[in-house]
């Protein structure tokens, strides 16, 4: 358990798992606009549950074309089309 430097409340466990060096809870970080905004997407591997891939805005922008939905199995189609050309 870690204490927020701004409100003296407890920092959420989920937040600490994603950002282990954070010094503020999510409410204070959002209210005071601390840190860099992150983007992410869900990655599904077969029949198991998905995982969240968190990345910077620049990385998200560079790879966005691979993950835009354009129909069934669109990720595979977009990846194949962009790599082979």
Residue 78: its pLDDT value, please? 47
d(C-alpha 60, C-alpha 55), whole Å: 6
45 and 83 both lie in a single domain: yes
Residue 56: its pLDDT value, please? 79
The stretches in the chain having pLDDT less than 70 are 35-37, 67-85
| Cα 21 from chain centroid (whole Å) | 16
Residue 77: its pLDDT value, please? 47
11 DSSP 8-state letter: P
Is there a contact between 79 and 65 (Cβ–Cβ < 8 Å)? no
62 and 30 both lie in a single domain: no
43 and 75 both lie in a single domain: yes
52 and 83 both lie in a single domain: yes
Residue 68: its pLDDT value, please? 63
Q: Which of 15, 12, 21, 57 is nearest to 39 (CA)?
A: 57
49 DSSP 8-state letter: P
Query: Which regions of 1-85 does DSSP assign to beta strands (E)?
Result: 39-43, 51-55
Residue 75: its pLDDT value, please? 52
Residue 12: its pLDDT value, please? 95
């Amino acid at each position: 358990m870690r204490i927020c430097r701004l409100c003296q409340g407890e920092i959420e466990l989920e937040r600490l798992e994603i950002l282990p060096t954070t010094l503020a809870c999510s409410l204070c970080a959002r209210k005071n606009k601390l840190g860099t905004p992150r983007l992410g997407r869900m990655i599904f591997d077969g029949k198991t549950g998905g995982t969240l891939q968190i990345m910077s805005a620049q990385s998200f922008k560079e790879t966005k074309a691979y993950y835009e939905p354009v129909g069934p199995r669109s990720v595979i189609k977009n990846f194949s089309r962009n790599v082979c050309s």
